[in-house]
Structure 1
Amino acid sequence: MKEIVKLGLILFIISTIAAVALAGTNSITAPIIELQREAKSELARKEVLPTADSFEQVNANDYDSTVITEGDVDVPVIEVYRGVSAGQTVGYVVKTAPGGYGGAVEVVTGIAEGVVTGVRVGKHQETPGLGAKSTLPEFYSQYDGKMAATVSVNKTQSSDSEVQAISGATITSKAVTAGVNASAGIAKSQE
């Protein structure tokens, strides 16, 4: 019986030391991770709206828990930024998270004067080799220059308002497109 108590106490001490070490490591690295995440977000905003010198977040309470339905895809709005250059608004950057095949797909869209200026796909859980191709320029660059809010997905790009779906990943392609179209609606409501 004493042996069991002794082993339990040793296990408790080791577990406590490991927990304290893990908590300490987390408290040290959390601010660094957050700075890296914000730098990556700032870079994405600059990539999708290159004419902006700076970005101002639109009141987060305006879009907290907002979900827009585009076709059959629910599109949660994560954040909205106003792009500014020389004190003037040059466009908007909207981050959405429409549901793809493997879960939410983070879509960052730049909109200026009703036209898509850029799209980037961030965090996702899409199938490697299929839906994950949405992060490649060959896919997301198709949106550049399209009239916002009217973009649709097709197996072959046959008009100026269509993008070609990723072969085998139509659900992901539709999710990204829903994110772009929802972003256009948000940008238009800000003008």
Structure 2
Amino acid sequence: MSDENNVEHKVLHNKEYSIFQIAINLTVACFISGAIIAGTYFITAPVAAKNAITMKNDAMKALVKDAETFKPLNGKKDWFTAEKNGKVIAYVVPAESKGYGGAIKMLVSVTPQGKIIDFAILSSNETPGLGDNAGKDAFRSEFKGKKSEDLEVVKDKSKENNIQAMTGATISSKAVTKGIKEAVQQVTQFVGGK
């Protein structure tokens, strides 16, 4: 009987030891994984931030080709003035709207007179071949030189100043147009309704 108790005690002791050992092993593995992730982030975060700034600057240069410099606008988050010869020739502002596939994030360039120069889609999840065509020249060119009141999406070109909806992507067309219209209205309000 005492041999059975010893065997039972050893089995219980081995089970406790193995559970304790597993817990220690998992703790060490989690610590090492966390250290690797933290180290990777520490190394890559500055590079990613620098790349994001470069991409944004490149996007702004593409939106306002005549600009010599871009300066952050105090008091306006993510707004920039595009300047040439020390004079503001455009404002580059963020815009966002909800499309068919979720949020569509854009940069919009607007003259101080409230006319659209261009826009760039920074991120979207619109349907490939349909809504994602919003960033292509055929659709983007419809906005150039238009003011806020000209930004109405139509399915047929009934009025000269309207925005022609992309075939099969009316929701995306309206979402992009809405975001751009809001950006133009914000710039117009900021410069005093010029």
Structures share fold, TM-score greater than 0.5? yes
2:179 equivalent to 1:179: yes
Contact persistence 1:119–1:141 (CA under 8 A): no
Task: Measure how far apart 1:28 and its partner are.
Answer: 0.9
Letter in 2 for 1:9: I
Task: Measure how far apart 1:129 and its partner are.
Answer: 2.6
Aligned residue pairs, count:
175
Secondary structure (helix, strand or coil) at the match of 1:97 reads: strand
Task: Measure how far apart 1:115 and its partner are.
Answer: 1.9
Structure 2 counterpart of 1:13, from 11, 15, 28: 28
2:170 equivalent to 1:170: yes
Aligned ranges for residues 13-32 of structure 1 at < 5 Å?
A: 13-32=28-47
1:125 corresponds in structure 2 to 125
1:76 corresponds in structure 2 to none
Structure 2 counterpart of 1:59, from 59, 68, 74: 74
What does the per-residue CA deviation read over 1:36-86, in whole Å, with 9 as the maximum and x for residues that have no partner? 1111111111111222111122224x46xxxxxxxxxxxxxxx32111111
Task: Measure how far apart 1:128 and its partner are.
Answer: 2.4
Letter in 1 for 2:95: T
Letter in 2 for 1:173: S
The alpha-carbon distance between structure 1 residues 149 and 29, as it changes in their structure 2 partners (threshold 3 A), is farther
Which segments of 5 or more consecutive residues in structure 1 lack a partner in the other structure? Answer: 64-78
Q: Distance in 2 between matches of 1:186 and 1:47?
A: 21
Indicate the structure (1 or 2) with the bigger Cα radius of gyration. Answer: 2
Deviation larger for 81-90 or 113-122: 113-122
| Structure possessing the higher relative contact order (Cα contacts under 8 Å, 6 or more residues apart) | 1
Q: Distance in 1 between matches of 2:18 and 2:30?
A: 18
1:33 corresponds in structure 2 to 48
Task: Measure how far apart 1:149 and its partner are.
Answer: 4.3
1:81 corresponds in structure 2 to 80
2:108 corresponds in structure 1 to 109
Task: Give the TM-score, by structure 1 length.
Answer: 0.83
Deviation larger for 163-172 or 147-156: 147-156
Structure 2 counterpart of 1:50, from 65, 73, 78: 65
Q: Distance in 2 between matches of 1:52 and 1:158?
A: 35
The alpha-carbon distance between structure 1 residues 128 and 152, as it changes in their structure 2 partners (threshold 3 A), is same
2:17 corresponds in structure 1 to 2
Task: Measure how far apart 1:186 and its partner are.
Answer: 1.7
Contact persistence 1:149–1:182 (CA under 8 A): no
Q: Distance in 2 between matches of 1:122 and 1:156?
A: 28
Task: Measure how far apart 1:157 and its partner are.
Answer: 3.1
Secondary structure (helix, strand or coil) at the match of 1:40 reads: helix
Contact persistence 1:108–1:121 (CA under 8 A): yes
Q: Distance in 2 between matches of 1:149 and 1:30?
A: 42
RMSD of Structure 2 on Structure 1 (CA): 1.7
The structure in which a higher percent of residues are helix is 2
Identity of aligned residues (%): 29
